[in-house]
Structure formats: C-alpha cells, structure tokens
Chain A
C-alpha cells in the first residue's frame, strides 16, 4: 500500500470510494426529490427495462475492452470498490429495513425522498447499478483470464450478478393476478390487484370443492377489564385427556364437540353449515374455587360463548387455525385435455406460461368457505434468476468445501505477483 498518495492519484482506494458512494447517494436523493418522489417505476417497466438491461451489458463489455486501463475501471475491479458498492447497497437497504413502506400517513418529505418506496427509488437503483458494474467488471476480468483455481470465484460472482440483473430488470415484468372462484363455478378472468385491471386467461378454472382442515381450537384467558387477550403463558389446546394450567387456574376439558350447536343451555353435535366447536370445561383455582360451563368460539352464523372465571379473567375459545386447505379444481384449455388436480398451499402447479397457487379463501366462513382465491403468476425471467441462484448455491458449497484455503492461496500468489 502506498501511504502518501494524494486523493485521485492511482490506485484509487477507500477515500475515493467513500466519495463516490456518497455522491451516488446524494445524487439519488436529489433525482428523487426533483421528480417529486415518483421513483423509477417507469424506467423499469417493459420495454425500457430491456433497454436499460442490455445497455448495461454493452457498457460493461465496451469498458472491458476500451477502458481497461482507466483509473476508474482499475478501481471498479478492486476490493475497495467491492466494499464501497456493497456498503452503499447495505445502507440503502438499512433505510428500507427501518422505515415503513407504502405508509400513507408518512410525512411528505419521506415520500419525496423516496423513503416510502425504497425499492423503486433512485438511490436504490443507483446503488444497484454501482454494484452491477463493479461486480460485472470484476467477473469479466476473471472470465477473460480464466484459470481453474478461479472457478469457485467465477461461479459465485457470476451467479450473484445474474441474480441481481434478473431481479432488478426482470421481476418488473412479472404478472401477478388473483382469481376468485366459487364452488361449482368456473372462471377465466383474473385481476391485477395493484392496478385493478382485469385479464382474460388462456384457460378457465372450475372449483369442484374447497376443503379446509383445521387444528383443534385453543383456549385463552381474556382480561375482563380490557377485553383483550391476557399476555403471558396464556394459551392451551383443547385436550380432554389431561389437566392444563392457565395462570392460577387448572383447566379440565370434560367434553369436546367439534361440530355443535346450542339448544337450551347445552351444546349438541350437529352437522350443519356454521356448526361451531364447543367444549365443557371445569376450572379450579389455587384456593379451590371451581367454575364450570360451556364455551364456544362461534362461527359466522353462531354467537360465541365465554366463561367468566373471576373478577379478573374470562376463559374463551379462539377460532380454530387452518391446518391445510385444498381446492379441488379442473382446468380447461382450448384444444387440450382437462386437468383435474388438488391445489394446496406450497404446491403450485404449472399451466403453460402460468403458475397457479392456492392463495386464500373466505376466511369469514372458515371451513364453510365455498370460494377459493388462487394466484396466477407469469414470470418469464424466472429461469434467469434461478440459474443465478443455483450458481450461487454451487459457489456456497465450494466455499464450504474449501474454507479459507483458497483465500490463503490467492493471497500468497497475489503478493508474490506484486513483488
């Protein structure tokens, strides 16, 4: 390291790096401010995303050929530039991590500086471009002077570059639509929830049946004074086989009916729409007071019932949580065979260019819901991003395998090269 180097004298290092990062950051905020906080959405929309993306690739190649010897290019391929560009993106992401996004009540200035929509703001775009250029030039340099011992380096750096490139310029082209289907009904239109635009799909979906599997409901204490759930060790699952405790109370569930209705002052098993779970509980506290009674969480058409234990607490049943839900659907396409499948959360299915996800249901109706909401996603850049992700995974495995050995090897050869 040359110690008494003036700023902007070769080789540039951290001082120049900090200045460049700061300039980009301030420039980003200024651009955002003068465009009245509109962000860069238009710049990244189709087809300008393609122009910008291919522009970057051409730019990187041209610079690698003709600008190889410039001080700035030399610097962009160096460790200080790597650190400064990662640090700039880190800083912008920190702003993202600390602020509420898309918060309508945020002060005007927050919006004008782009802090209410960081990922589509100028500072974020500039930080990403900086990183793409530094990482790109480094990767190209190492690709051109290929050596086998650089393979790990190339896989992880090229992988990351591809992921960043695809995510920044490609994901804007992703189409994400929602389709609501009712039981027995068939639908071939879907809505983009951000723009409320309606699209006609190249296929139609029929909902044959919607099935929701629930967990056994939980019991909890409610503070009588506030009406809110009591904090602390406050939740148990209905279980008729054992005594359980909630604060000072020993709770025994004597009779549990999953599907029930109230008649008189007792609950009976029924099998009709809206039938709710209920349980007969007996609660005893430290000083031997016992309270008994039926409680139920109710449903969209049944009232709930709680049990007052003492002045402080009441015992309530919480609405059962969904365990799994499935839409039994049939997909109709022109000139193709009908596809009949069960669509579950976490198990999307592919139809042509589209991927279909189980998204939601009428949560008001719970297990009686007869509508299902599916999400339809088309992401033509996904293969690009996945290629990058798998390269990075390979790079991570390589790093795990090699540990610091490679670093030390590189370190040694580099120092000898320098001398």
Chain B
C-alpha cells in the first residue's frame, strides 16, 4: 500500500492551497533550503548518482542506517527549480523508515499542482529523482 508521510502531505497541502505566483515562491523557498552536503560527502560526490531526467546537473545519494533513511542532493544555484524539487524530497524522505520511504507513491511529484504551472516535462525530472532515491534505498536496505 502506498501512503504519503506527514511531512510530504503537509508540503502537498501547502502547494495546493496557494495561487500560481505563491506556488513558485514556495518552490523558490524550498530551493534555498536544500541542505549543504555533510563534510563526509562534500569531497566524495563520485558516490552520487546523476539524475538523468533533469536538464540541470543534480546528484543524489541515499543512506540507510538502523532502518532510517537519509537523503543528500546537490544541484547548482542557477537551477532553482531542480534545487527546489531536490529539497522537497531530501526534507521529506530524511528520517523516514525504509518502509515509509518506499511507500511514497511514485506519482507524488505530479500531485503538487505544478504540472500546468511548470509543465509536465519539468515535473518529470522530480519523478525521476524520487524513483532513483527509492531504488537506492531498496538496494541499501538490509534484506
């Protein structure tokens, strides 16, 4: 069964409650909140996976420890949309249990009301990010 964790549900409700301009502003806020990489990864971006679905260079890396997920991402300052997408997912997935993370619906990115505003093609970049994060979590979770 797929269910949306509380943090992502709140993000979804926030987006859906806003008008078009405010939706863009919220995404810009998210892009400003993308956490910097922790020191242990800052010099090891070769561990990161490139999200090919995005036009801008964005790289992701997931950790699973004690059944808890952490997600890291890096994207250029001059790619605010991509950074915003990454930030929503990094903040929404970090701290979840493996089961909760894997239960996030694959179509979550297209349920934020951004398809018309930003175009389905761009939202597909976020879908690619989520798929890749879930695949990494699945690979890294102890069986």
Partners in one complex: no
- B interface residues, Cβ below 8 angstroms from A: none
A binding-site residues for B, Cβ under 8 Å: none
